Structure 1
Amino acid sequence: MKIGVIGPTENEIMPFIEEICNKKVENVAMLTFYRGIYKNSNVVALYCGVCKVNAAIATQILIDKFNVTHIIVTGVAGGIDNILNIGDTVISTEITYHDVDEGILTEYHPWMESIYFKADSKLVELCRAVIDKNTFTQKIFFGRIVTGEAFISDSGRTEIISKYHPLCVDMETASIAHVCYVNNVPFIAIRSITDTEEECGVEVFENNCISVSNNSINIVKKILESL
């Protein structure tokens, strides 16, 4: 088993990369991949850059060049459901795009039965077991994540809620799930909340990103320790 771990930005994954042992560094397609061991698990980790295409490039390279068998996404997200507070964590059960026409996924490659990519059921159950056995400072929720390349305004929020009813929104997860789907690679995403409807905007995101990222990373670590 070899686990690929993806974070969009340095802040969202470098605290994890710093703890990888026996690191070997390799550059591919202007991305830096860190191979090594974390708690007896073989891992390949990187920050892929923000937005969908960057995330997809990184994911395909992890699969093709580094032969990862599973992929975990760690990072932050914007809260959509009012149940969420800053610092809470969402673990994906299913993922889709909020800015791609539904027919693109069902009428063309990869000819999906629905617009939702399913997180791997075994990884979801492993996450549930890890949460039951450990104490985390934040609240943790399982549910739907949607992806699109925009910070969400009030009008955008209303439309997303009415169409998808997600817990949170980010800019990368669906594209990573998409690549994993067509390659038959098990996948899960762990995203912690930097901003909500009440506390929103780029400044709020930036102020919370580093501290909130650690909430996701701490769960990733426990997952890897449990494999």
Structure 2
Amino acid sequence: MHDLFCLRRLLPSRLAAFLVAGLLAFSLSGCATRAATGTPVRLDDTPRIAVMSAFEPELTLLLAQLQNPARHRINGIDFTTGTLQGKPAVLFLSGISMVNASMSTQLVLDRFNIHGIVFSGIAGGVDPALHIGDVSVPAQWGQYLEVLMARETAPGKFTIPPRMEAQTMAPFGMLHPRPVETRTAASPAPLRKFWFEVDPRMLATARSLGALALESCNAGVCLTHKPQLLVGGNGVSGQAFVDNAAFREYTFKTFGANVLDMETAAVGMVAYSNGIPYIAFRSLSDLAGGGEGANEMLTFMNIAADNSAKVLLAFLLAWTP
């Protein structure tokens, strides 16, 4: 604005007034247009599949396979476009935690032309039948830490407020999980929902992969069994790193979960709200407190991350959007 008034002093009065008025009108018109539409500008219009991981080791193998990469930075997040397994894709890190996953998922949907979301990463194993290195592809995901914290009315006895009993699930002490309220463009009325189902066609493609050669060793660290691929069942997510045997047992009993992590259910909720198909591949890096010794995540993280990425690559090769 200061420059406009300097221009008015330097130019003949009529010309200056004309230019100033025109520039102001253009500027205000642009602001009004942006305010009216509220639509973020897309970085390109190529239909792409969004390939997500939470943190860097999970995305390393996938980035190495990406052809013709081009990087875009939005709000500090790097989005790398290119071709993965012959499919136009955009790869990025969601960041660890539910809030980061929600925010970055909506960001990629706003700024790119996304027709599907796939997530690759590690997780804590909940089902006692699964082992470190196995890859789980659940059919649905829920938020186990969307909870009501009940009042303790006697030692070890917790009571939830009246008329809220029907909204909660089996508790763990004072923690009573419950559905989360969500909306979609097609159904703007609030809907309480716990499970967010993955896309059935994507799940069918994952089932068609059969037995894959998954890694048992990495950098001199080896597993004592051959990793397996399991498609179906449940996964749960929440804002906690779980390393507790009692809570692991509760999670399996209550939700029938194969695995738990800190992002996928948030991605599923955003995908549901936007009407975008999604699926997640999670490999066990640890047993969420169920192991005999200390938590194993740092020991087996690289094996798990690579196994998840290899299943995702096989999926993309077989997937027809």
TM-score by length of 2: 0.66
Residue deviations 1:35-59, cap 9 Å, x none?
0011220000111211011111111
Classify the secondary structure of the residue corresponding to 1:68: strand
1:179 matches 2:179: no
The aligned length equals 224
Instruction: Note the aligned Cα RMSD (angstroms).
Output: 1.9
- Work out whether residues 181 and 192 of structure 2, in 8 Å CA contact, stay in contact via their aligned partners in 1: no
Distance 1:95 1:201 in 2: 27
Work out which of the two has the higher radius of gyration on C-alpha atoms and give 1 or 2: 2
Percent identity at matched positions?
24
For residues 225 and 158 of structure 1, the distance between their equivalents in structure 2, rounded to whole angstroms, comes to 36
Change (3 A) 1:136 1:42: same
Residues 1:95 and 2:188 are matched in the alignment: no
Alignment-derived partner of residue 220 in structure 1: 312
Match for residue 146 of structure 1?
A: 236
Pick from 96, 100, 115: which aligns with 2:194? Answer: 115
Question: For the residues of structure 1 that align with 2:182 and 2:62, how far apart are their CA atoms?
Answer: 34
SS at match of 2:138: strand
Which 5+ residue runs of structure 1 have no aligned equivalent?
A: none
Greater relative CO, 1 or 2 (CA 8 Å, sep 6+): 1
Q: What letter corresponds to residue 198 of structure 2 in structure 1?
A: A
Separation (CA, whole Å) in 1 of partners of 2:300 and 2:79: 26
Counterpart of 1:6 (choices 45, 49, 52) is 52
Compared CA separation, residues 39 and 151, structure 1 to 2 (3 A): closer
Q: AA paired with 2:139? A: T
Match of 1:12, SS?
helix
State whether structure 2 residue 284 is matched by structure 1 residue 160: no
Distance 1:127 1:12, change over 3 A: same
Q: Which runs of 5+ in 2 are unaligned?
A: 1-46, 148-166, 169-176, 184-189, 215-226
Deviates more, 1:79-88 or 1:137-146: 137-146
| Alpha carbons of structure 1 residues 17 and 97: separation in structure 2 relative to 1, 3 Å | same
Q: Quick one: structure 1 residues 54 and 114, their matched pair in 2 at CA, closer, same or farther if it must change by over 3 Å?
A: closer
Spell out, residue by residue over 1:102-131, the C-alpha distance to the aligned partner (whole angstroms, 9 max, x if none).
6797573334464100010000001111x2
Tell me if structure 1 keeps the 8 A contact 2:271–2:278.
yes
CA distance in 2, matches of 1:112, 1:94: 17
CA-to-aligned-CA distance 1:148-183 (integer Å, 9 cap, x gap): 122221232233223212011000000000100000
TM-score by length of 1: 0.92
- Cα deviation for residue 199 of structure 1 reads 5.1
